[in-house]
Structure 1
């Protein structure tokens, strides 16, 4: 056979792939981009913190936490950094290739994307860590993480570039706020400036429900939520949700839920929790959610209590579609979540979503509200009463051992910054400030930490927040942050702090435990803090352990 015929035979049936492949070629810290920078490759610029501006081909754009800039063309960039809050982040250069050798375009957007979801950027932090410290046992991990990052950014671009249906979105928002009033399709269509027929077609296309079915859903879900936190008269409840009398509400309720309002209030429910804090509150009441979010610490505690196992839910591994499917698979009667309007609205077809406000409701009040929902109010009050007895013992001992408490600050070291907290954000501060009588440093109060719940600072700036007691609940986990933290500990400013001189700095490094803002985590955090503050009080720890078992 000739060479030509052999080549033809080899190529017979072979087609050239039309796929594009993306290869990262360079990674740099964002603060290195301080002079005009021109890259021949596509580039992703990711801002993790700080404030500044990006000058792109003569046009200036604001940069802050959660900003992403995407360019696939030869672009001249220059950063302008705010000295009060320097920018932190990374840049990734990558090439786009096809099997035939052409260079297609990468991701591009003419202006930086603002407020990109934090979960979408998680692969970027992991990618940086793997890029800086390659793992020989996982040679393809960097490529996997980069592909995951590109996929997420591509989906975010597509979502932002979809044509908006402003009148339709406004109609949905109006219904959310006024479902308990007299609403008709014709009234809503007139308000939107479209015909009733067009309104109906658009509504069904985007919600999968008719206008009347959606209005009924909003009203019945609201009635379910009100029933779970009280037992109002049916006629009163009907008026609250938009119906004229209780008999009609009862009929509509039974059509939608399959139970009467009274039977629903007292029925056993399949509960889904979308945050580990709410899972922990249920476990403290001896209830296991049908599907719940757990930390590994909470899983161990759940196993120790020998409670019946249910399904565990990891919200970070799902797309919006599989997220919904995972929840639907357990046929929930109730979903407990923190306030997140857009996500929670999408779950209404499954079950009522009991939204607990973040930061404005203490862990105690959240615990009591969840107890009301599951008819366990007396058990929760008994739990809190025993916890308060425990706090009385602890404070009596601290009065003897420490006297006046002074100031305390809790730090958590992240990949690129340090964070300290107020009591409304937990992290052990709810114990230090609310129960044990410590005070936040004056500088935190001056910076308004109570309003935001936390303050972000450079790792090197930790020494600028002096306190009588300094507590680290999370230590550096990547080479860059470890280097910066070591630099802090060697600095003269750090060594001059009174807390350092008097050995009142505590390295607890229990990030998962201190993340919890719930009764069980609070109890465990208390014991960790006391181990640090009063290391000689062995009898106190034993007493607390026994009291904890009784609680």
Structure 2
């Protein structure tokens, strides 16, 4: 059939204890995969964002996805690798599966996964059975996603919503949108309202008011007329009217109210707390001194649950936040804009100081943030002076995390103390890593036994599994030939909690640990 995409399984695996079922030559699978968690817990970094996987969680990865395993406990999952093909040579259509963890609604998905695993094992006897069960699983996942998300399952409607998100400053008539969608104006209005619960003009106003909220919170000194023109309105009076209709507050009163912030990452939660602000809903890391699982404020749970994505939409509706701090990938969740303004920060692209300033700007604490940054800069300057006193040569340095079957080396966008080493203390990135593109990618993956391929003067291991491969690495001849090994400059710190964060307190603690390595 011309233009039709066929999906079929090519392998079904058991996954446990961080053992990747695909090649470890790159971070992530080579084929699209569906991971159904059947037991235990794991922490992963998926497309640059930390996620938690637990029983009933489903993670769908594309071949281009970046997936790094960080930690696990009694973790078990069923993994189905699949392939998408067309018969006419055209690119396959996207599966439509969500590229974020989705919590399964029942044991039905695990049951289907186990049926698929059994059918795959017996495929010689019943070759069509794996395909039948896989398509059943795929259909059920798509149906659940539609029910949990925007309900947008009409391709042209998804494009129109994306258009309104990207180009909300422009004037859009119903005729212009229907021409873009290649449907009649009446059909566009009817389907848009049915699927989103609002008219397209109400949706456009929502996008404009959300942008106005950001500009007001950031306090760039714009007056109301300037903000209005920036978001697509003709004057401040009209903006004020739409603003009050949505938020029941005038822009002036909104500017002066206490700010209710949701932090979707561990780092942004810690940054806010460092500024004296507790988010109304936040992601708290397992190693955070501020974490209090099960803690309830007067308004309910304050800890965001990663296995359900950004958290319950009902929780967001109840808490009525002003703004949700997210990373670039989470901003694509269009549902969030119904509940608050959304500020997306490119976590792996911006230096930690700039991310901290962005968070502080939203919180109205920019002056306090600058004071904290200056305090850290003094610490860094004093540390450099000590290194000079002890004649520590700033050679090449590499920071690794080593797991059962893979090793990961990092650059500044992924933290792990690298912003301190490279930006503040003046150590150099090994040329081999530069040649392999680490400055753009931020993280590279290697088989454990290939760690010695990256020679350096200083080698830091911030996380190491006590695995057979790690023990073999330490006993290998290639390891003994490393410059850092020969000079006694290998430091196995094995403290993931200390080295993961990029908030100022974590950065300060990392600097202290690194200085302990350099000084006698």
TM-score, structure 1 as length reference: 0.69
Q: Over alpha carbons, which structure has the higher Rg?
A: 1
Q: 1:340 aligns with which of 323, 329, 333?
A: 329
Distance in 1 between residues matched to 2:163 and 2:319, nearest whole Å: 31
Give the secondary-structure state (helix, strand or coil) at the position aligned to 2:186. Answer: helix
Q: 1:150 aligns with which of 110, 113, 118?
A: 113
Which residue number corresponds to residue 32 of structure 2?
67
Post-superposition offset of 1:115: 5.3
Verify: 1:247 aligned to 2:240, yes or no. no
Give the secondary-structure state (helix, strand or coil) at the position aligned to 1:360. Answer: coil
Verify: 1:126 aligned to 2:75, yes or no. yes
335-344 vs 512-521, greater mean Cα deviation: 335-344
Q: 1:295 to 1:128 in 2, by over 3 A?
A: same
Verify: 1:316 aligned to 2:306, yes or no. yes
Distance in 2 between residues matched to 1:310 and 1:373, nearest whole Å: 23
Contact 2:156 2:181 in 1 (8 A): yes
Distance in 2 between residues matched to 1:450 and 1:410, nearest whole Å: 14
Distance in 2 between residues matched to 1:120 and 1:206, nearest whole Å: 37
Q: 1:257 aligns with which of 224, 231, 247?
A: 247
Q: 1:375 aligns with which of 364, 369, 372?
A: 364
RMSD, matched Cα:
3.8
Distance in 2 between residues matched to 1:288 and 1:434, nearest whole Å: 29
1:81-160 matched pairs, under 5 angstroms: 114=63, 126-127=75-76, 147=110, 150=113, 158-159=140-141
Post-superposition offset of 1:113: 6.3
Contact 2:109 2:137 in 1 (8 A): no
Post-superposition offset of 1:160: 5.1
Verify: 1:200 aligned to 2:175, yes or no. no
Contact 1:408 1:468 in 2 (8 A): yes
Distance in 2 between residues matched to 1:179 and 1:189, nearest whole Å: 16
Contact 2:405 2:469 in 1 (8 A): no
Verify: 1:517 aligned to 2:483, yes or no. no
Distance in 2 between residues matched to 1:120 and 1:488, nearest whole Å: 19
Contact 1:120 1:149 in 2 (8 A): no
Which structure would you say has the larger RCO, counting Cα contacts within 8 Å and 6 or more residues apart? 2
Q: 1:123 to 1:204 in 2, by over 3 A?
A: farther
1:37-436 matched pairs, under 5 angstroms: 46-47=21-22, 49-50=24-25, 64-65=29-30, 67-68=32-33, 114=63, 126-127=75-76, 147=110, 150=113, 158-159=140-141, 165-229=154-218, 230-300=220-290, 311-318=301-308, 323-340=312-329, 343-436=332-425
Q: 1:69 to 1:264 in 2, by over 3 A?
A: closer
Distance in 1 between residues matched to 2:245 and 2:517, nearest whole Å: 57
Where in structure 1 are there 5+ consecutive unaligned residues? 1-24, 33-44, 53-62, 71-108, 130-143, 537-551
Contact 1:271 1:336 in 2 (8 A): yes
Post-superposition offset of 1:338: 1.0
Give the secondary-structure state (helix, strand or coil) at the position aligned to 1:219. Answer: helix
Contact 2:462 2:494 in 1 (8 A): yes
Q: 1:515 to 1:443 in 2, by over 3 A?
A: same
Which residue number corresponds to residue 507 of structure 1?
492
Q: 1:327 to 1:114 in 2, by over 3 A?
A: same
Runs of 4 or more consecutive aligned structure 1 residues displaced over 6 Å after TM superposition: 119-125, 151-155, 307-310
Distance in 1 between residues matched to 2:435 and 2:210, nearest whole Å: 42
Give the secondary-structure state (helix, strand or coil) at the position aligned to 1:355. Answer: strand
Q: 1:342 to 1:382 in 2, by over 3 A?
A: closer
1:415-494 matched pairs, under 5 angstroms: 415-476=404-465, 482-494=467-479
Post-superposition offset of 1:231: 3.0
Distance in 2 between residues matched to 1:425 and 1:145, nearest whole Å: 37
Post-superposition offset of 1:364: 0.5
Post-superposition offset of 1:186: 2.3
Post-superposition offset of 1:301: 8.1
Q: 1:453 to 1:225 in 2, by over 3 A?
A: same
Deviation per CA, 1:176-232: give whole Å up to 9, x if none: 222111112222112212122211121122212211111111110011112222231
Which residue number corresponds to residue 87 of structure 2?
none
Distance in 2 between residues matched to 1:342 and 1:274, nearest whole Å: 11
Give the secondary-structure state (helix, strand or coil) at the position aligned to 2:319. Answer: coil
Where in structure 2 are there 5+ consecutive unaligned residues? 1-11, 36-59, 79-106, 117-133, 147-151
Equivalenced residue count is 426
TM-score, structure 2 as length reference: 0.73
Post-superposition offset of 1:166: 2.3
Distance in 2 between residues matched to 1:492 and 1:351, nearest whole Å: 57
Which residue number corresponds to residue 42 of structure 2?
none
Post-superposition offset of 1:326: 3.2
Contact 2:347 2:355 in 1 (8 A): no
Higher helix share: 1
Distance in 2 between residues matched to 1:155 and 1:383, nearest whole Å: 51
Q: 1:418 to 1:145 in 2, by over 3 A?
A: farther
Give the secondary-structure state (helix, strand or coil) at the position aligned to 2:75. Answer: helix
Verify: 1:530 aligned to 2:515, yes or no. yes
Post-superposition offset of 1:365: 0.8
Q: 1:505 to 1:122 in 2, by over 3 A?
A: closer
